[in-house]
Amino acid sequence: MSSPARDADEPKSLTFAWTLAVILIVAFVLGLLFFPPMYETPKTDAADTVLFIGRFHPILLHLPIGALGLLCLLEVICLRAKGEAKYGDAALLTLIVGSFGSVLAVMAGIMLSREGGYAGGNFSLHQTMGIIGTAGVLLALVVRITAMGRGSSELLGAYRALYFISFAAMGLGAHFGGNMSHGSKFLTEFAPEPLKSQMISMEKWMLSFVEEPKEEAPAPAPAPVAAEKLVFADLIQPIFAAKCNSCHGEEKQKGELRLDTYEFTMQGGENSGDKNIVPGKPAESVSMQFILLPEDDDDHMPPEGKDQLTKEESALIQWWIEQGASNTQKVDLAALPAELKATAEALLK
């Protein structure tokens, strides 16, 4: 990369652009070092300032969408030499604004994730593609300034390819972010039929990259024989720990509810009280009711966009309540409904 000093013969605007590009790249790299992206709920609570800035993510992200979207149009115009001569500077400025917005949005997004409760495939893809897309746009910025400095149309072509790929990565990342806040079916729900199934299978394909290893992953504690294991401690609690306790555990008690011990679970929360789990009666148990609500219902648990229970996990909780919601019942794989065996075995591992 050429430094501002070496490019002293370049027009003033490029020296200025170099300065901004270097500042943005340094800010992005330092930001990622200070706030490395995490894919699980952080162990320690973040400072309020960090969480405060994080809440601006949903606002800030509109800046890069607007600027980089406009840039797509400008770059199409700039494909012709005449267009580049006329709008090249405008494209460069728009690219700088878009890069600035992307860096801000990524950093605020990572800070937002420090609230905890963000996990799952949509989140992983959103975070990863957002960061990769931003890195790509910053690199594209460097290439564009270099190309303009040398007056090289080949380099400009390479820049455009890089830019459009990065923009696409970011757009896909944004889509998975949309899934997090609006629910996974938001975009596809009203799509016309042939398109709909293609969109859904494309999405599934992408999610499969980040979701597959997760299912095999949770495996603490060496497993003796299943017979000595307890239904609550070894099957139900790990599910709560993975999907609920970022908000209902030792650190945070949303709705004054804790699910990290048997006693707390049965004690219930602010409104649920001893109805949180009603032994033998899943339909009357508030936690079960909330789990079974449609994902877009305000009371649905885990809240929309957070890492959701699988069908089997929720069936396992339901089965435990039906069996009397005991703290001492031993795991008897043979007595489990057939469709729950695989899930139970995975949890016991």
Regarding 181 and contact with ligand HEC (CB under 6 A), the answer is no
Q: Which is nearer to ligand HEC, 31 or 255 (CB)?
A: 255
| Between 98 and 238, CB nearer to ligand HEC | 238
Q: Are 133 and 167 in contact, with CB atoms under 8 Å apart? A: yes
Residue 330 φ/ψ, nearest 5 degrees? -85, 155
Alpha-carbon torsion angle 122, 124, 125, 131, nearest 10: 140
Q: Is 117 in the site for ligand HEC (CB under 6 A)?
A: yes
Q: Does 46 engage in binding with ligand HEC (CB under 6 A)?
A: no
Site for ligand HEC in 235-264 (CB under 6 A): 243-244, 246-248, 254-255, 257
Q: Which is nearer to ligand HEC, 101 or 121 (CB)?
A: 121
Cα 69 from Cα 66, distance rounded (Å): 5
H helices present in 231-272, as ranges: 237-243, 262-267
Element (H, E) at 279: none
Asked if residue 162 binds ligand HEC (CB under 6 A), the reply is no
For ligand HEC, give the closer residue by CB, 183 or 269: 269
Which residues, other chains included, contact 191 with Cβ-Cβ below 8 Å and sequence gap of 6+?
199
Rg (CA), the chain: 25
Closer to ligand HEC by Cβ: residue 256 or 339:
256
Amino acid at 148: M
Out of 122, 237, 272, 343, the residue judged to bind ligand HEC by CB under 6 A: 272
Should residue 113 be labelled a site residue for ligand HEC when binding is judged by CB under 6 A? Answer: no
- Nearest to ligand HEC of 103, 257 (CB atom): 257
Collapse the DSSP code of 13 into the 3-class scheme (helix H, G, I; strand E, B; otherwise coil) and give the result.
helix
Alpha carbons 347 and 238: distance in angstroms, whole number: 7
291 is a contact residue toward ligand HEC (CB under 6 A): yes
What is the greatest pairwise CA distance in the chain?
A: 81
Q: Is 286 in the site for ligand HEC (CB under 6 A)?
A: yes
Q: Is 309 in the site for ligand HEC (CB under 6 A)?
A: yes
Q: Which residue of 269, 304, 312, 340 would you call a contact of ligand HEC, by CB under 6 A?
A: 269
Does position 276 interact with ligand HEC (CB under 6 A)? The reply is yes
Four-point Cα dihedral 231, 232, 234, 238, nearest 10 = 140
Q: Which is nearer to ligand HEC, 150 or 182 (CB)?
A: 182
Amino acid at the residue 326: S
**Residue numbers of the site for ligand HEC (CB under 6 A)?**
117, 243-244, 246-248, 254-255, 257, 268-272, 276, 286-287, 290-291, 301-303, 306, 309
